Chains A and B, each alone.
Chain A
Amino acid sequence: MKKTKRLLWTDFRSGPGKLIRIPSFFTLLILVGAIILFQSEVTAQAIPGDNAGPLAAVTNLSTINNNGAALQQNKITGTVLNDRGEPLIGATVKIEGTTLGAITDVDGKFSLNVSDPKATLSVSFIGYVSQQIPLAGKTTIDITLVPTVESLQEVIVIGYGTQKRASITGSVSAVKGDVVSKIPVANVTNALSGQISGVLSRQNGGEPGSDNSDIFIRGVATTGSAVPLIVIDGIIRSRSEWNSTLNKYILVSNLNQIDPSTIESVTVLKDAAAVAPYGMGGANGVILIKTKSGAVGLPTLTYNGYYGWQTPTYYPHLLNAVDYMKLRNEAVLNQSATAVLPFDPATIANYASLHASDPDRYPDSNTKDLVNFNVPIQKHDVQISGGNEKTKYFAGVGYYGQKGLFEKVNYSRYNFNLNLETNVTNTTKVSASFIGSAETKNDLDIASSSEQIFRNNYKFIPTEAIYYSNGQWGQFAGNSPVAVLKGSGYSKDENNTILTSLAVEQQLPFIKGLSLKGVFSYDTRLRYEKGWHTPFYYSVINLNTTPYTYTQSISTQEGNVPAYTYLQQYDSRWRTYTYQAYLNYNRSFGKHNVTGLVVAEARNGNYDQLYGRRNNFSVGIDELGLGSSNKNDYDNGGTSNVNAQIGYVYRVGWNYDSRYMLEASGRYDGHYYFAPGKRWGYFPAFSAAWRISEENFMKGIFWLTNLKLRASWGKSGNLAGSAYQYLSGYTLAGNSYAFGSGVMGQGAYVDNENNPNITWEVSTKSNIGFDASFWKDILTVEADFFYEKRTGMLLSPSITVPYEYGIGLAQTNAGKMDNMGLEVTVGSKKEFSNGLKLFVSANLSVAKNKLVQTFETAATYDNPNRRRTGRALGTVFGYKSLGFFTTAEDINGDGVIDANDGYNITQWGILHPGDIKYADLSGPAGVPDGKIDSNDETVIGYPQNYPLMTFGMTATADWKGLDLSLFFQGSAMTSFNTQNFMTFPFFNNNSNADYEYYNNRWTPTNQNAKYPIAWPSPTSNMQQASDFWQRNASYLRLKNAQLGYTLPSSVMKVIKMKSLRVYVASQNLFTISGLKFMDPESSTYNTDGTFSPSMKSYTIGVNVTF
């Protein structure tokens, strides 16, 4: 067992690991090297002709076409064939070290002009092993390519580069873009769940535009921010942000702005070897998204579209009027047998007929009627791509639209993508990428929210009318959900995002294998929020008149909403600049292959926000200037900040004969979060791999296609906390107090004692794994075991001073945590002679963490039941329940369980049969003390917020144009606190209850119940955190099912299309779970039924290629 240290009364300071300060001449060296290289390149290129530099090239394309005309050139011709002797159409033939090349024609033939007779040709074709053929003076060359084993040849996007699957030494998983794009969701994060081992995601409800998932890679290994880093097309496009409303760190990234159908691949970097290049950003794992770029060939135009219907996976079943009244009477009688009943039993018995004859006096309303249960979802995109050896292009436009459960709620997004790549000289490539998105999210009146409506759905009791029979809007406790839904208020959130980058890549032919690349990226986002509130009107019925009369009133939602009209607007903008300089080296010496990479990267950005508000609009026009001219009705505000980061990345690799591979990588990283002198960190990693299957002694094993062992070790960092936490300072705040005339004055205070030494968390990761392929990929296995130590986690040591100290202590880098787990992915595919193709892939991930060092008091540390140290983060503590008190335990029959019945343990208040009974586990002296209090706490559930085990399985079958795919996903070893509106009667102020409770509640005749006895209001005794309310949230769900049909090519020829596929699909079709009343995949903070539920969808779609 690991020795744990108790941090009590110790001023513990844990260093984030020793810094190796890279001397500044290191960068200088690279620089001087780069300049020399460039200068010599310029000299070398200073040859006759129009072989101009990159800038010239852009301005004068025609010169390129004449490229090399003045040189002495040889014409080389040849044919490219496959292993069956058939011509390969569209294979690429390139002259090594240049960007010159040709593409084979319909007969597999090519021709090229080559100036250097000793040049080497490189021939490649997707799905075949590339070949290098030295010309050696020949002018005619026929080449035969052999098919690749797919898993080995696959090129994977990694940090700051790409690598062949076969030569990767780290733990990297990747999926192709079509895997995510075929799932009908708005957001990539929702498509990743279960697809990739080691990635776990949980969806934040189903509200359009806000339904993205929380993503964790390899579980949660820190008390700080556990969100991964998102890199889109080589540029970091995410940050972690503390959200005080949700009380957690959230991932703010541009994933929401990416059209899933433009994604070419998603790669997840998991171990130190893979994430080290991201330095302080890498410890929580990295997700790399590569968007599509053009491919050589004739223009290809595709259209993809789907249309579908969404409906909640789970929706509360609220009591009708009769059952509500019965339950209410029952609860009141439970409290006092002589109580006046709130509802007349005779009325209840007759309610159906009373309701039929006078629905206004005897309503039976169901707030479910306010919800649209079939809401459309649709997506359309058109993409065109193509190119020749000089220039490749990809362009796409897309639309995504999703409606919400209420009429005003919807989300739409337009996407624009453009990706251009052009070889401006033999050795220079310029590429530009533009990703634009325009999102609009519409929601209810700014003063309310969808969540408020869902809460209202419980709080609006069924014996009050939502609508009166004349159509007017009813109320309960002065609230009308209809007023919110049908009023003219709104809120609108528009986001316009542009992600751009420009890259220039220069081969340096005088040193073989060396290239230089400069990248500049500018991202900008403009956000415009506008909210309009108009008073919430409702009508109160007067039952004392005949006919009934109605009075209109304004609802203030219990005082929280103004009775006047107001408008508020926020204008925000973000700008991020990234500069990257790459030096890339890639060369083979015999069987030795050497790669080297150095990247200097700088990022900075800024943010500005302006806010304005006006109250009291006498004319109902939602224009800021038209509000009241009284200055008391004005409000404005604003904020701004800047950020900066610099990193130097390196990676060197060596491999021998693709058998032995070694790699070292790392980053020297500086960040503005920390104090000068505390800003720079160094994060190295080392990895090695051995492809045993390439050894001679293994060659005889015909069924073993590949077996590679991998191991890695390294460090990476994690930014936790927030910027400037090192500053000792007084926070200046407005509107603190007012003297005399009532003019508000500012106030100043110190939040916490400061800590100038604050710095990043360090993660030390070890990973061993293997990749295996049998029978040429009929079976593939990928497995990893990882162990991670997180040190320097930010914790507040406040526990080390008494509360009387009066001020919180700044966080220090004191926490330590272990995280370990394993991931296995098994895949199989087989093509049968009758054309049937089967593919199955399944993955399983387990990650479990443990707090090694944390601050806790003696009270918890000394009680083995309560000790935090050595337990997982988020472990839930509470009382152990012993079921309900039974009527048999009420020995004297007075309806109360107390000492007179022999029960001498103090719980909360007076106890009755049907109340929860708790176990007296301990007391202040360490032995049971006849009192249930914090000494009796123990572990009652799995860690909240993340499941320990996740799994996914994909199975696809193709046969004669028919394709079927099923994708299952699930998690286990997870639990929820289920105490909420659904499981508790009258949870908030006489609110309605759910049949989940009603049908399973304790009554004297149903003592073996699932839920306690009904009381008119929640009681302390039942509201304690206990294992009673912790319920297993494991599940397995059919996340996506799809059946498609591709029309045969004979038909295609007639209708002049390349291909046409139609399909039907369903998302979240069914779920197997012990929780029957709520979605087990929800994030835990959304489990009380008062949020937009997760959705199930049915879609039909089409993929067309022209």
Chain B
Amino acid sequence: MIKLKITSSIAFIGLLLLFTVSCNNDKFLETMSKETLTDATMWANEGNADIYLNDCYSRLEPLGNQPDNLDNFTSDNDAGFYYTSYNFKKGIVEASAGPNGSIWGGTCGPFQIYGWEGYYQTIRKINTFMAKITENQAKYVDVSKPNWYNKRMDEARFLRAWNYCEMFYRLGGVPLVVDPQNRATDTEAEMLLPRSSYEATFNLIVGELNTILTNGNLVIKYKSGDGDAGRATLGAALQLKGWVQLFAASPAYNSTDPAVPRTSDNLQSFADYKLSRWADAAATNLEFINTYGHKGTGTYKLFTPMSQLWYESNEYNSEVIWDRQQVATTMAQSYDTFGGPVWIQGTYYTWGNYCPTQELVDEYQMSNGMNPLNPDGTVNVASGYNDQNPYVNREKRFYDWVVYDGATYKQDWMPVADVIYTRIDKVNPSKNQIDYGSDDVGNTAYYSKKRLDNKNPRGGNNDGRNYIFHRYAEVLLNYAEAQNEAVGPDASVYEAVNAIRQRPGTDLPALTAGMDQTQMRAAIKHERRIEFSYENHRLFDLWRWKDSLVEMNKDLHAMEIKNTVPLTNGGVWTYTRISLNHPHVFTQKMYFCPIPQAAMDRNKNLIQNFGY
């Protein structure tokens, strides 16, 4: 018994001893975080480094997932009040909105997912990637990945230029950070960069794109099935260059009277007006057409049928130049959740956010290529337009893209067609009839069906269609516009615009011959408005043309369709343009977004944009 006692006591002490000794050792506290990679691992080889670049690509804004889009900041669309665009249309944009973008009732202006902070975060990621793979370049010797370093550097350059573009469009000149800053070693001057001028920012972007084009490391275009499809291409670089040149050559920035008053800093416009900027833009876009485009190798050309351009099965088609990758289920596009008719076959399907205004609908021509309305708003009798039967004999794009009262609606996923009624019908009320507020049903009497997923009933996680940022039709119209401004409406201008109008499936007559420069300008503006509607381009067009101040201060309208004998529908259906009743205010400062006050508070060298 004594033995047992001793044994057990020793066992007891032993236990204490064991853990006390182990306590004394830091090993007990040594645990592992399995989700963290070290610097050495991250850059060890091409495959690992690619994982980092994947994250940079993922920062491309999935614009197809937004219930609010840039078109809602224009006179083309009318959507709910809970969006930032609603405040914008009331003239509410302010610097104190914070450093980030928001689509939800914000006052930051047309930023979507990212704002000042978000773009600079992306830029730092890209700068870090470039610095790190340069530092570790010697490690990248995998023979199965030839020229890996040079390709990835050019991809990173493209992504960085892309992000600077997003800020350039909205803010003008911005601080240009091209290396990861280091607060431990950088001087105050290196840390607190002032805004570069409009021209310097423009030059950085174009310079980077030129480098990519000169290097020629990237492929011109990917096609469906390519393992690297979705990475930056030479085609994307050349198109972006041509577009940015056109953007900057526009009267809002390249003028003796720019959109906002010129200051000595030249932050919001070039210091002078130069016709050559138009010529540069024309040359670049022409280069695209003549090399990669339909007049060159034909790698890029217009896709037909137009109505199927956005089908998932047609990803990477000949018209697509630069797109944001989306994958069903895991990285899906949810565009369809938000737009299209709200009620389909008696079921609530969408939020009803893409509601064309009467102004946009009036812009669609008749099938004979004539405008339904005269510039003063009266009916253009010659066109054959009947304002009491307005949806007949319109151009094909109207029927492809707009759901109107009485339109047959049939997507591939629908077993049978539905007819959408937006009229006010007291006898057979329809769920989609316009109202002023009981649920998500739109107020204009129209829904956009452009870019909607044809295959799947609801957006959510079924839709893997890529979001197309830029397509070949833009190159054509970019060229036409630049050439018209630089030289005038020569034959090449007609040819470019008519390529769009006369493409199979659009089938509009060619433009009337003999237009002067001003008439051609109007024709091109018209063509851009229709062709690129609901593709997030209209806002920047209105801005760069300096048209917002007029266009965005106009009253906007809906179509009210009523029966003269409402109780029996025994009368006739009347079509009345009624005011949307939301105030629309656009002031001069709104040609640009404000530099967020929060950013100014942290960097005393930043100068605010005009009017904020």
> Which A residues fall within an 8 A CB radius of B?
11, 24, 27-28, 30-31, 34-35, 38, 41-42, 45-46, 50-56, 328, 332, 335-336, 339-340, 342, 461, 463-464, 475-479, 504, 506, 518, 540, 542-544, 551, 553-556, 558-559, 562-563, 579, 581, 600, 602, 604, 632, 640-646, 648, 670-672, 676, 679, 723-724, 727-733, 735-750, 799-807, 809, 857-860, 908-910, 933-934, 986, 988-990, 1016-1018, 1020, 1023
A746 to B53, CA, bound (A): 10
Q: Which of B10, B54, B191, B334 contacts A737 (CB 8 A)?
A: B54
14 A-B pairs with C-beta separation under 8 A? A336-B579, A336-B581, A342-B436, A461-B439, A477-B440, A554-B347, A600-B23, A645-B29, A646-B23, A724-B36, A739-B230, A748-B42, A803-B596, A1020-B92
Do the beta carbons of A478 and B51 come within 8 Å of each other?
no
Do the beta carbons of B227 and A739 come within 8 Å of each other?
yes
A58 to B193, CA, bound (A): 76
Q: Which of A644, A800, A910, A1023 contacts B90 (CB 8 A)?
A: A910
Do the beta carbons of B331 and A556 come within 8 Å of each other?
no
A41 to B42, CA, bound (A): 59
Q: Which of A540, A551, A737, A908 contacts B57 (CB 8 A)?
A: A737
Q: Which of B28, B38, B91 contacts A604 (CB 8 A)?
A: B28
Question: Which of B29, B87, B328, B597: most chain A Cβ within 10 A?
Answer: B29
Contacts of B564 in A (CB 8 A): none
Q: Which of A52, A563, A747, A807 contacts B121 (CB 8 A)?
A: A807
Known: A42-B6, A518-B15, A730-B42. A805 touches B581 (CB 8 A): no
B42 vs chain A, min Cβ distance (A) = 5
B599 at the interface (CB under 8 A from A): yes
Known: A518-B12, A730-B42, A909-B91. A644 touches B31 (CB 8 A): yes
Known: A478-B348, A644-B31. A806 touches B337 (CB 8 A): no
Contacts of A604 in B (CB 8 A): 28
Contacts of B350 in A (CB 8 A): 559
Known: A339-B436, A737-B58. A1020 touches B87 (CB 8 A): yes
Known: A54-B12, A579-B19. A745 touches B1 (CB 8 A): no
A480 to B585, CA, bound (A): 38
A739 to B31, CA, bound (A): 36
B427 at the interface (CB under 8 A from A): yes
Do the beta carbons of B228 and A740 come within 8 Å of each other?
yes
A151 to B217, CA, bound (A): 85
0/1 string, B1-26, CB within 8 A of A gives 1: 11011111111110111011111101
Q: Which of A31, A463, A858 contacts B17 (CB 8 A)?
A: A31
A632 to B462, CA, bound (A): 11
The stretch of B93-101, B135-143, B287-295, B301-309 in contact with A is: B93-101
> Which B residues fall within an 8 A CB radius of A?
1-2, 4-13, 15-17, 19-24, 26, 28-39, 41-42, 48, 50-52, 54-55, 57-58, 80-82, 86-87, 90-92, 94-96, 99, 105, 107, 116-117, 120-125, 127-128, 175, 177, 180-181, 183, 191-193, 222, 225-231, 325, 327-331, 334, 337-338, 345-351, 427-429, 431, 435-440, 457-461, 464, 560, 578-579, 581, 583, 585, 596-599, 601-604
Do the beta carbons of A745 and B459 come within 8 Å of each other?
no
Contacts of B183 in A (CB 8 A): 11, 800-801, 805, 809
Q: Which of A56, A504, A729 contacts B37 (CB 8 A)?
A: A729
B234 vs chain A, min Cβ distance (A) = 17
Do the beta carbons of B120 and A1017 come within 8 Å of each other?
no
Contacts of A679 in B (CB 8 A): 26, 29
A729 to B581, CA, bound (A): 54
Across chains A and B, which 10 residue pairs bring their CB atoms closest together, nearest first? A478-B348, A806-B124, A729-B36, A559-B337, A747-B55, A1017-B81, A553-B347, A53-B5, A802-B603, A55-B8
A853 to B399, CA, bound (A): 64
Do the beta carbons of A555 and B348 come within 8 Å of each other?
yes
15 additional A-B residue pairs with CB within 8 Å, beyond A679-B29, A1020-B87: A53-B9, A518-B12, A556-B460, A676-B26, A730-B41, A732-B51, A736-B58, A737-B325, A742-B464, A747-B58, A806-B125, A1017-B81, A1018-B81, A1020-B105, A1023-B105
Q: Which of A543, A731, A750 contacts B429 (CB 8 A)?
A: A543
Known: A553-B348, A801-B191, A1016-B436. A738 touches B1 (CB 8 A): no
Known: A724-B36, A739-B230. A56 touches B4 (CB 8 A): yes
A342 to B434, CA, bound (A): 10
Known: A739-B227, A747-B51. A727 touches B603 (CB 8 A): no
Contacts of B17 in A (CB 8 A): 31, 35
Do the beta carbons of A740 and B226 come within 8 Å of each other?
yes
A644 to B581, CA, bound (A): 64
Do the beta carbons of A738 and B92 come within 8 Å of each other?
no
Do the beta carbons of A741 and B227 come within 8 Å of each other?
yes
Do the beta carbons of A988 and B82 come within 8 Å of each other?
yes
A324 vs chain B, min Cβ distance (A) = 10
Contacts of B349 in A (CB 8 A): 478
B311 vs chain A, min Cβ distance (A) = 15
Known: A544-B429, A909-B91, A989-B440. A50 touches B1 (CB 8 A): yes
Q: Which of A34, A743, A748 contacts B16 (CB 8 A)?
A: A34
A286 vs chain B, min Cβ distance (A) = 22
Known: A53-B4, A581-B19, A933-B94. A35 touches B438 (CB 8 A): no
Do the beta carbons of B331 and A735 come within 8 Å of each other?
yes
Contacts of A553 in B (CB 8 A): 346-348
A24 to B20, CA, bound (A): 11
Known: A477-B439, A732-B51, A744-B330. A739 touches B602 (CB 8 A): no
A805 to B128, CA, bound (A): 12
A559 to B66, CA, bound (A): 13
Known: A53-B9, A746-B51, A858-B601. A730 touches B4 (CB 8 A): no
Q: Which of B7, B95, B175, B334 contacts A804 (CB 8 A)?
A: B175
Contacts of B598 in A (CB 8 A): 803, 857
Known: A748-B42, A934-B597. A54 touches B227 (CB 8 A): no
A613 vs chain B, min Cβ distance (A) = 12
A335 to B429, CA, bound (A): 26
Do the beta carbons of B331 and A332 come within 8 Å of each other?
no
Known: A46-B2, A562-B460, A748-B52. A803 touches B125 (CB 8 A): no
Do the beta carbons of B5 and A56 come within 8 Å of each other?
yes
B121 vs chain A, min Cβ distance (A) = 5
Question: Which of A42, A750, A802: most chain B Cβ within 10 A?
Answer: A802
Question: Which of B127, B181, B183: most chain A Cβ within 10 A?
Answer: B183
For A46, give the chain B residue with the smallest CB separation: B2
A556 to B30, CA, bound (A): 47
Contacts of B19 in A (CB 8 A): 579, 581, 600, 602
Question: Which of A641, A739, A805: most chain B Cβ within 10 A?
Answer: A805
B88 vs chain A, min Cβ distance (A) = 11
Do the beta carbons of A52 and B5 come within 8 Å of each other?
yes
For A798, give the chain B residue with the smallest CB separation: B602
Q: Which of A340, A518, A559 contacts B459 (CB 8 A)?
A: A559
Do the beta carbons of A803 and B578 come within 8 Å of each other?
no
B194 vs chain A, min Cβ distance (A) = 10
Do the beta carbons of A646 and B28 come within 8 Å of each other?
yes
Do the beta carbons of A802 and B12 come within 8 Å of each other?
no
Do the beta carbons of A559 and B331 come within 8 Å of each other?
no
For A551, give the chain B residue with the smallest CB separation: B346
A31 to B107, CA, bound (A): 67
Do the beta carbons of A342 and B36 come within 8 Å of each other?
no
Contacts of B52 in A (CB 8 A): 730, 747-749
A474 vs chain B, min Cβ distance (A) = 12
For B5, give the chain A residue with the smallest CB separation: A53
A418 vs chain B, min Cβ distance (A) = 23
A717 vs chain B, min Cβ distance (A) = 15
B273 vs chain A, min Cβ distance (A) = 30
Do the beta carbons of A805 and B37 come within 8 Å of each other?
no
Do the beta carbons of A602 and B23 come within 8 Å of each other?
yes
A676 to B25, CA, bound (A): 11
Do the beta carbons of A581 and B20 come within 8 Å of each other?
yes
